[in-house]
Amino acid sequence: MTTSSRALEARRTAIAAGREAKAGLSPPADALFENAEAHLAADAKLLEDIQRLLDH
SS3 for the chain is CCHHHHHHHHHHHHHHHHHHHCCCCCHHHHHHHHHHHHHHHHHHHHHHHHHHHHHC
Question: For the chain, what's the residue count?
Answer: 56
Sign of CA dihedral 9, 14, 20, 26: negative
- Reported as a single tens digit per residue, the pLDDT across 12-34 is 999 999 999 998 889 999 999 99
End-to-end CA distance of the chain: give it in Å, rounded: 18
Whole-prediction pTM: 0.81
Phi and psi, residue 2, nearest 5°: -75, 165
Mean pLDDT of 40-56: 94
Q: Indicate whether 1 pLDDT > 80.
A: no
